[in-house]
Amino acid sequence: MSKKAIVLLSGGLDSATVLYYALDQGYAVRALVFDYGQRHRKEIAAAKAVARAAGVALEVVKISMPWKGSSLLDANVRVPVSGVKKGVIPSTYVPARNIIFLSFAASFAEATGARAIFIGANALDYSGYPDCRPAFFKAFQKALDVGLKAGVEHHGVRIETPLLRMSKAQIIRLGVKLGVPYEKTWSCYQGGFRPCGVCDSCRLRAKGFEDVYAG
């Protein structure tokens, strides 16, 4: 029987790479996508396209976050375009997003017998979100170990973060090697017809490809 995994798939560059990485590691994958009212809803269509290209089943979960608290959820708050600033958590941070997403993924994993959750979090070339840092994943893993039936019975669900300490360029090189269809991915926070090119996500993506192909 194949080992099973749940992959959190946003439709962006990192999550697409981690999906193909999990497949390359021999996992039978089911992708989990969230429709949480994000302004860049175009990423949901991108996630579906990436899942189709990879040949994996996909679940879209719709959740409501009416309290907003982020420029990705509130159209009245502008998405920052001044670039990533060290030590500053930008308004695109969605309160407790990865806690929420990983909780859903853990429930999905335990219900379906999956032993791993893959998430394309990155703590190097990223926007400084606290729930993308190694300390967060270490703490959340402890919560799963004591809070899941599978954890108590010592065959728990592991959080896999293979991209956590990689630069964006390293991620892209890995993805190219794995055949990730980056042309199907979407990174822009604005969610317009074309990428804006100036939001944090667009800047990080562009720099990654520049670092890979500039030479």
Per residue in 151-169, pLDDT (tens digit) is 999 889 999 999 999 999 9
Q: How far apart are CA 75 and CA 121, in angstroms?
A: 25
> What residue has token string 């790479």?
17
CB 83 within 8 A of CB 203: yes
> What residue has token string 């590691």?
25
Taking the CA atoms of residue 106, residue 107, residue 109 and residue 112 in that order, the dihedral angle to the nearest 10 degrees is 170
The CATH number given to whatever domain includes residue 43 is 3.40.50.620
How does residue 214 score in pLDDT terms, banded at 50, 70 and 90? confident
Q: What is the pLDDT of residue 125?
A: 75
Q: How far apart are CA 199 and CA 91, in angstroms?
A: 11
Q: What is the pLDDT of residue 67?
A: 95
CB 121 within 8 A of CB 98: yes
Q: What is the pLDDT of residue 215?
A: 57
H-run or E-run covering 213: helix 200-213
Q: What are 101's two structure tokens?
A: 């997403």
Identity at 156, one-letter amino acid code: G
How does residue 124 score in pLDDT terms, banded at 50, 70 and 90? confident
pLDDT over 80 at 83, yes or no: no
Q: How many CB atoms lie within 10 A of CB 38?
A: 20
Least reliable range by pLDDT among 25-39, 51-65, 76-90, 170-184: 76-90
Per residue in 127-155, pLDDT (tens digit) is 789 999 999 999 999 999 999 999 999 88
Q: What is the pLDDT of residue 155?
A: 86
- In total, how many domains does the chain have? 1
Q: How far apart are CA 39 and CA 47, in angstroms?
A: 15
Q: State the residue range of the domain holding 101.
A: 4-213
Q: How far apart are CA 200 and CA 204, in angstroms?
A: 6
Q: Using CB atoms within 10 A of its CB, is residue 208 exposed (0-12), middle (13-18) or buried (19+)?
A: buried
Nearest residue to 20 via CA among 178, 209, 147, 204: 178
Residues 210-215, mean pLDDT to the nearest whole number = 86
127 or 62, higher pLDDT:
62
pLDDT over 80 at 85, yes or no: no
Average pLDDT along the chain: 94
> What residue has token string 């600033």?
85
